[in-house]
Chain A
Amino acid sequence: MTPLQNTASGEPLIKVESLCKIYSLDSGAAGNGNGNGNGTVNSQVLFDVSLSIHRGEFVAIMGHSGSGKSTLMNILGCLDTPTSGHYWLDGNDIASLSDDELARVRNRNIGFVFQGFNLLKRMTALDNVATPLLYAGVNRSDSRKRAQALLHQTGLGKFAAYQPNQLSGGQQQRVAISRALVNNPQLILADEPTGNLDTQTSREIMEIFQQLNREHGITIVLVTHEDDIAACTRRLIRLQDGRVVHDAEVPA
């Protein structure tokens, strides 16, 4: 059971409308925005961002550092909340959800893949993949079985008992992808998933994403600043200074 109710499939999976994000920093801290005179400095990162992503899309978000792409990803991943604007995930208004409901959405509907892998240290690959299932209330032996199957699927079946520091970057990222997939999410959010990997490994990881998108119909949103990575996707959104400046299909 998912906390989000599936609406008509014509509805986009992700819909954001005039999203703004303003960070308030204490005065004295670095900030490039306008002081408001109250001892804090406001720094606006997202300006009026509106976009829709439909089921089965494979989208790359590009932009220079500071363009707001990571902030947008955090908001899409329900890790952060916008200062203003609306976000509907699968037709549900995210602003209306409680902390616990957001945790459920992150657990069941979204899979995260990070640049730094973000695996839990000193825990085996198998346990890392199984952890989201434990948070979903699945018992330990069932979750291990499912985790083992996923590791097998990403080609890491033999590495189940390894801890992250015993694995290469590419292998760690495969573990992270297995973890992201373990609860059968509709959406995978990948924040520079190849940023710490060499070209060959990057290509392999992108192949996994393409396969997931193509064969399993999983919607993938990927942040990158590498053009050849973006070329693997099917739609490119370019952010600049917190605004969408480009949104078009990637020519095949």
Chain B
Amino acid sequence: MSLLAIIGEALRALRLNRLRTGLTMLGMIIGVAAVVLMLAIGQGAQTMVNQAISSMGSNLLIVVPGATSSGALRSGSGAVQTLTMSDAQAIASLPSVKATAPLITGTAQLNYGANNWSTVVTGVTPDYFEVREWAAESGALFTEADVRSATRIAMLGQLTAKNLFGDEDPTGKMVRIKNSPFLIAGVLAVKGQSLDGRDQDDAVFIPITTGQRQIFGNQFPGTIRFLMAQAESAEMMEEAEAEMNQLLRQRHRVAEGMENDFTVRNMAALTAVATGAAKVMSIMLGAIASVSLLVGGIGIMNIMLVSVTERTREIGIRMAIGANRRAILMQFLLEALVICILGGLAGIAIGIGGAWAVSEAVGMVVVITFGTVVLAFAFASGVGIFFGFYPARKAAALKPVEALRYE
């Protein structure tokens, strides 16, 4: 009997029991839809984490001031600003470090015309934009000369620009930061969310010197909030970390056996943790969804076993008129497979629809890849073959004479 003829027989048999076929298929549909949806959500989360990581810049190390103790007085990390501009310059000259970006930050009110917006003001050097791999979308980045002469010039993040200027082009306009007029040099490209969930486009950047002298004021001139350093390459991250530690201990005159008054954070390690967590979540969601697929598969096996028993006489007749064991096996196996494939296709469609609904309703990022669809389909077919095989083999193993006698 040709495969096509057997498929025809399988479809005919399934059509005869529409309700039963539909209910069995429903188990499959729910299972496959759950797998597709969960994988979409998991991969969406992974994509979001990856975006946040790549928006950070590559091969980043961050140096923050650490805990200090002077006599009996102990201060927590960051309470005392132990890092200086010259620390940043010294680190920049290390062979394993490509560039450094010292930062000072504060919050300030921005005014343009009748609009005002309170946001984070960050004092940086032009190297910051290089380290963060952050380009100007319009206008141009401020320069080293602006830093040297502490010019009142600013780069706006996308969200800040939009809130102050609406559809206007801010480049060349004047904006007031803490009532001091600043020239807008340009608007930065969209950066998106950071790993800690902050919108990085809600920001304004000014030369670090301008910030120190005119905006924030500082009891210790030349100190910085923290600094970012970019290693020459991914392989040199560890080396850069070690060299920076050594250099800063030397510069800060930390005695042998004393704790550092700064901390060097290797962002590669952090991103590894974040991607790892996202991956685990993705796998867990998939695994939970697979359970429903398994339950659907057991449902199919159950129904197929009932069907084989019910149709014992039919099997006997078919054997008497010349069906061999393979034809009987294929007939029942294909019935299970057809349920799974049709259910799988419907499940994929529903899963994609559900993912779309979730992204619309909750604003979650969902990602459906071709791989997900192929995996779900393969999983469905696999379940069909696995759970359909036993009942089919049972049917094929019947003795013709006994099957014919069955009432």
Residue A193 lies at the interface, judged by CB distance under 8 Å to chain B: no
Give Cα A74–Cα B321 distance, bound, in whole angstroms: 13
What residues on A are CB-neighbors of B320 within 8 Å? 77, 79, 106, 112, 118
User: Closest CB of chain A to B4's CB: distance in Å?
Assistant: 8
Residue B136 lies at the interface, judged by CB distance under 8 Å to chain A: no
User: Closest CB of chain B to A139's CB: distance in Å?
Assistant: 7
Asked, given contacts A118-B317, A135-B1, whether A74 binds B401 with beta carbons under 8 Å apart, the answer is yes
What residues on B are CB-neighbors of A100 within 8 Å? 324-326
Give Cα A250–Cα B399 distance, bound, in whole angstroms: 35
Q: Which of B255-277 contact A (CB under 8 A)?
A: none
What residues on B are CB-neighbors of A51 within 8 Å? none
Q: Which of B300-331 contact A (CB under 8 A)?
A: 313-314, 316-327
What residues on A are CB-neighbors of B313 within 8 Å? 118
Residue A137 lies at the interface, judged by CB distance under 8 Å to chain B: yes
Q: Which residue in chain A gives the minimum CB-CB distance to B8?
A: A140
Give Cα A150–Cα B317 distance, bound, in whole angstroms: 20
A120:B319 contact, CB within 8 angstroms: no
User: Closest CB of chain A to B338's CB: distance in Å?
Assistant: 18
Residue B404 lies at the interface, judged by CB distance under 8 Å to chain A: yes
User: Closest CB of chain A to B225's CB: distance in Å?
Assistant: 80
- Number of A interface residues at 8 Å Cβ cutoff, please give it: 29
Asked, given contacts A134-B1, A137-B1, whether A108 binds B400 with beta carbons under 8 Å apart, the answer is no
Residue A122 lies at the interface, judged by CB distance under 8 Å to chain B: yes
For A77, A120, A123, A139, which residue has the most chain B Cβ atoms within 10 angstroms? A120
Residue A67 lies at the interface, judged by CB distance under 8 Å to chain B: no
B324:A104 contact, CB within 8 angstroms: yes
Residue B114 lies at the interface, judged by CB distance under 8 Å to chain A: no
User: Closest CB of chain A to B30's CB: distance in Å?
Assistant: 29
B321 in complex: contacting residue of A80, A99, A121, A131, CB < 8 Å: A131
Q: Which residue in chain A gives the minimum CB-CB distance to B400?
A: A79
Give Cα A80–Cα B402 distance, bound, in whole angstroms: 9
Give Cα A132–Cα B323 distance, bound, in whole angstroms: 8
Residue A171 lies at the interface, judged by CB distance under 8 Å to chain B: no
A103 in complex: contacting residue of B317, B324, B401, CB < 8 Å: B324
Give Cα A10–Cα B313 distance, bound, in whole angstroms: 38
B322:A137 contact, CB within 8 angstroms: no
What residues on A are CB-neighbors of B399 within 8 Å? 80
Q: Which residue in chain B gives the minimum CB-CB distance to A106?
A: B322
Give Cα A54–Cα B322 distance, bound, in whole angstroms: 23
Residue A183 lies at the interface, judged by CB distance under 8 Å to chain B: yes
Asked, given contacts A120-B314, A120-B317, A134-B5, whether A103 binds B322 with beta carbons under 8 Å apart, the answer is yes
B322 in complex: contacting residue of A99, A135, A139, CB < 8 Å: A135
Interface size class of B (residues with CB under 8 A): 20 to 34
Give Cα A74–Cα B324 distance, bound, in whole angstroms: 17
What residues on A are CB-neighbors of B325 within 8 Å? 99-100, 103
What residues on B are CB-neighbors of A137 within 8 Å? 1-2
Residue A219 lies at the interface, judged by CB distance under 8 Å to chain B: no
Contact code string A115-126 (vs B, CB < 8 Å = 1, else 0):
000111111000
Residue A238 lies at the interface, judged by CB distance under 8 Å to chain B: no
Asked, given contacts A103-B323, A103-B324, A106-B320, whether A121 binds B314 with beta carbons under 8 Å apart, the answer is yes
What residues on A are CB-neighbors of B317 within 8 Å? 118-120
What residues on B are CB-neighbors of A114 within 8 Å? 404
What residues on A are CB-neighbors of B73 within 8 Å? none
What residues on B are CB-neighbors of A213 within 8 Å? none
What residues on A are CB-neighbors of B322 within 8 Å? 103-104, 106-108, 132, 135-136, 183
Residue A179 lies at the interface, judged by CB distance under 8 Å to chain B: yes
Contact code string A130-150 (vs B, CB < 8 Å = 1, else 0):
011011110110000000000
B324:A122 contact, CB within 8 angstroms: no
User: Closest CB of chain A to B250's CB: distance in Å?
Assistant: 86
Contact code string B126-163 (vs A, CB < 8 Å = 1, else 0):
00000000000000000000000000000000000000
Q: Which residue in chain B gives the minimum CB-CB distance to A109?
A: B322
Q: Which of A201-217 contact B (CB under 8 A)?
A: none
Asked, given contacts A103-B319, A120-B317, A134-B1, whether A79 binds B324 with beta carbons under 8 Å apart, the answer is no
What residues on B are CB-neighbors of A80 within 8 Å? 399-401
Residue B16 lies at the interface, judged by CB distance under 8 Å to chain A: yes
Q: Which of B224-241 contact A (CB under 8 A)?
A: none
Q: Which residue in chain B gives the minimum CB-CB distance to A131?
A: B321
Give Cα A77–Cα B399 distance, bound, in whole angstroms: 13
Give Cα A179–Cα B317 distance, bound, in whole angstroms: 12
What residues on B are CB-neighbors of A120 within 8 Å? 314, 317-318
What residues on A are CB-neighbors of B319 within 8 Å? 79, 103, 106
Nearest 5 CB-CB pairings of A with B:
A107-B322, A103-B324, A80-B401, A135-B322, A79-B400
A-B contact pairs, 29 of them (CB 8 A): A79-B320, A79-B400, A79-B401, A79-B404, A80-B399, A100-B326, A103-B323, A103-B324, A104-B322, A104-B324, A106-B319, A106-B320, A106-B321, A106-B322, A107-B322, A118-B316, A118-B317, A118-B404, A121-B314, A122-B16, A131-B318, A131-B321, A132-B321, A134-B5, A135-B1, A135-B322, A136-B322, A137-B1, A140-B5
